[in-house]
Structure 1
Amino acid sequence: MFKLVITILCLALIADAAFVRIPLNKPNKRRSVKNINALAAVLRHKYNPRKNVTSEELRNADNDAYYGAITIGTPPQHFQVLFDTGSSNLWIPGAPCAASDEACLTHNTYNASASSTYQLNNQSFAIQYGSGNLSGYLATDTVTISGLAVANQTFGVATAESNASFIAANFDGIFGMAFQQIAVDNVVPPFYNLYTQGLIDTPVFAFYLARNGTSSRGGELTLGGVDPKHYVGTLTYVDIFYESYWQIQVDSFSIDDTLVCLYCFAIVDTGTSLFGVPSDLYIGVQNAIGARSDTFGNYLVPCNYTSYLPVLYVNINGTSFNLTSDDYIVPVENDKGDIVCMSGFINSGGPVWVLGDVFIGKYYTVFDMEKDRIGFAPAAVNATVLN
């Protein structure tokens, strides 16, 4: 287990460690039908990868992605990264960009030659994902997050990216926060090093996503502990299934009084904006909320009918968490510029449920690597977040 591996390493350091708050940002624009469809395609590949291929997906720019600032190198080079509990690698674009690589050209890029703390790794790096791939090399340098300098962190430098959805993304790269077991090339994730180097108190982090926040006040990620101001009541904890993704067993999913799934597996993923439903249950869930498919396969409900829609109940370790239509119906803009009401349930592409930001936005979520568990509690409304 994670705590057994690192406790001895951290014993002498932990007394001076920090509890850290990371302000989160999110795009300040309305989602579009096109981008919701792109997200659905991404999710289907993420948890149903091709055999013998490591899968890590990019997020779509116009969805409610929550991202924040880090720096890499000496002197610091600045990046915005998506904090993703559904993957385990840190990667950012790297200079020089190829003339044809629009995604690289439109984002901040890492320049190894400009950093005095860069260490040559001599290993190539590649991630295969549903609609393309990225490739480059591994580098080792100092990675700083909220003033905490992680020494000798290895990360991916993408010099070629073929995923079109990354071109308009508001963030530069991905900061993976799942377990090392699913990291490409078995690279040690940066959160591990934050703890083993004594920079945080405990191997625990938590997300508060401000669903009605602004682009610059989108919520807060805490590293090294939990902030009680961000939730109400008590936390309900559930053990993770095994150390890879943040995967748990859910007692049941029900829509009003109708049982949808009993003792099912779910992955808790901050990198997924919506709510993933297993492929064999997907159509049934859409029918249960009265959503109907348009000619493009999008599931919509009349916007004047949303207040009559049923409640989804997610029972976790004996506690019921509910999502109303205010939570799972997403106003989006269609190709004509009209606002339509789309179901926030998307096909996960496999047998698992995916509790994405639709769920995490309503319920403060704690990821505890020390005790191999996840905690949930109702998120505080209008909680204070950092500027």
Structure 2
Amino acid sequence: MQVSVQIQENLSRNLSTKNSIAFFLIDTSSAVTWISNDKYVLANSSTGASTPDTFSVSYVSGSASGVVVKDTIVFSPELTVTKQSIGIANVTKAFEDVDGVLALGPQGLTRGTLTPDSNKTIPTVTDNLYAQGKIQSNSVSFYFEPAVNAPIIAGEILFGGVNASKSRHALTRWHIYSTPVTKTSPSSEFWGLDMAITYGSSTTITKKVAGIIDASTSLINLEAGAYKAYQQATGGARDSATGLLSITPEQYKGLKNVTLAIGGTELTLTPNAQIWPRELNTAIGGKEKAIYLVITDLKAGAGDGLAFVLGYPMLERFYTHLDSDKKRIGFAPTAFTYATTN
């Protein structure tokens, strides 16, 4: 069995515990699912149970901490996970627009987040769905359409398989371009992969390096050397208002494809896939008719073993499959891979 969850919020999903409806940020680079304590009261839940654990999670920007309970999460009438460990956050930072985080990273990322047993790990939502026989494989897939009307984004999370209807071609496991999770630390602790990047036909942005996929990141981030190479290749100038590279209409006409070499397969980010949706320029403090690039510098966390973050712009253009069973990451083209919606 595989079950999909439709997405109609800005990188969030309307979920419920037994006593609350909440908007969750979808995050593939953490593994502790939590909800704000103003959205959840243990005493109001007939299925909830306390635990001896507390949790604390830090993000690139933001944090959350509180107690841990076990309860039921209802994604839809067809998809319910029971006895799920859930953090109830009484302190949060930089999460004003959501009620919590739906964490879909590898289970190992929960190690070090719990007290008193800092070496303990807890199963993620996907782990428990698989263990409870609700899905046929311990995997999760993502499909998003390019965002042109904030805050509404259309998409789907599918637990336990892939959705053939979302691909440009007949989609099965055999048609997904798949690569093993990288062995290079620290990217290997996340949904990490090895990748080389080329601009146009021959300009090397970076040779093969390790990095990660992160659904909660709104851009594509490169370490300093690769970012500088991309900036020089495109001629982009850093915009003081947005922090993004800005190019002129003439430069956009000459913008070339970016090729991502992943696991023996080459995936293409077209010129349109490299720019911020112009309809959303003002939402980030930009000028209405300006052209901004979504490939930017990786400021926080950059270093050996973590040279890039493939964020939401990648998931807009390629169906993405994260397989915990086989420790593999897969991509497939969609109807929006070559779209000009931005």
What's the TM-score, normalizing by structure 2?
0.83
Q: Residue in 1 aligned with 2:65?
A: 135
Deviation at 1:210, TM superposition (A): 1.0
Verify the 8 A CA contact 2:224 2:297 in the aligned structure 1: yes
Q: Residue in 2 aligned with 1:239?
A: 180
Is 2:288 the counterpart of 1:344? no
Amino acid at match of 2:102: F
Verify the 8 A CA contact 1:25 1:218 in the aligned structure 2: yes
Matches within 5 A, 1:70-85: 70-73=15-18, 76-85=19-28
Deviation at 1:281, TM superposition (A): 2.0
Verify the 8 A CA contact 1:22 1:221 in the aligned structure 2: yes
Deviation at 1:187, TM superposition (A): 2.5
Give the unaligned 5+ runs of structure 1.
Answer: 1-17, 28-65, 96-108, 383-387
Which of these residues, 231, 234, 258, is aligned with residue 203 of structure 2? 258
- 1:8-67 CA deviation, whole Å, 9 max, x = no partner? xxxxxxxxxx3101001234xxxxxxxxxxxxxxxxxxxxxxxxxxxxxxxxxxxxxx22
Give the total of aligned pairs.
Answer: 307
CA-atom RMSD in angstroms: 2.2
Of 361-370 and 293-302, deviating more is: 293-302
Is 2:252 the counterpart of 1:306? yes
Verify the 8 A CA contact 1:210 1:219 in the aligned structure 2: yes
Partners of 1:322 and 1:365 lie apart in 2 by 14
Q: Residue in 2 aligned with 1:19?
A: 2
Distance 1:300 1:249, change over 3 A: same
Distance 1:283 1:158, change over 3 A: same
Deviation at 1:207, TM superposition (A): 0.8
Deviation at 1:335, TM superposition (A): 4.7
Partners of 1:129 and 1:217 lie apart in 2 by 23
Partners of 1:216 and 1:182 lie apart in 2 by 30
Verify the 8 A CA contact 1:90 1:156 in the aligned structure 2: yes
**SS state at 1:270 partner:** coil
Q: Residue in 1 aligned with 2:172?
A: none
Verify the 8 A CA contact 2:147 2:153 in the aligned structure 1: no
Is 2:154 the counterpart of 1:218? yes
Verify the 8 A CA contact 1:93 1:159 in the aligned structure 2: yes
Amino acid at match of 1:347: D
State the percentage of identical aligned residues: 25
Distance 1:335 1:321, change over 3 A: closer
Distance 1:346 1:263, change over 3 A: same
Amino acid at match of 1:307: K
Of 334-343 and 265-274, deviating more is: 334-343
**SS state at 2:290 partner:** strand
Q: Residue in 2 aligned with 1:162?
A: 93
Amino acid at match of 1:271: S
Which of these residues, 174, 182, 197, is aligned with residue 101 of structure 2? 174
Deviation at 1:348, TM superposition (A): 2.0
- 1:227-251 CA deviation, whole Å, 9 max, x = no partner? 111112431110112562111112x
Distance 1:228 1:130, change over 3 A: closer
Verify the 8 A CA contact 1:23 1:217 in the aligned structure 2: no
**SS state at 1:309 partner:** coil
What's the TM-score, normalizing by structure 1?
0.74
Q: Residue in 2 aligned with 1:151?
A: 82
Distance 1:211 1:151, change over 3 A: same
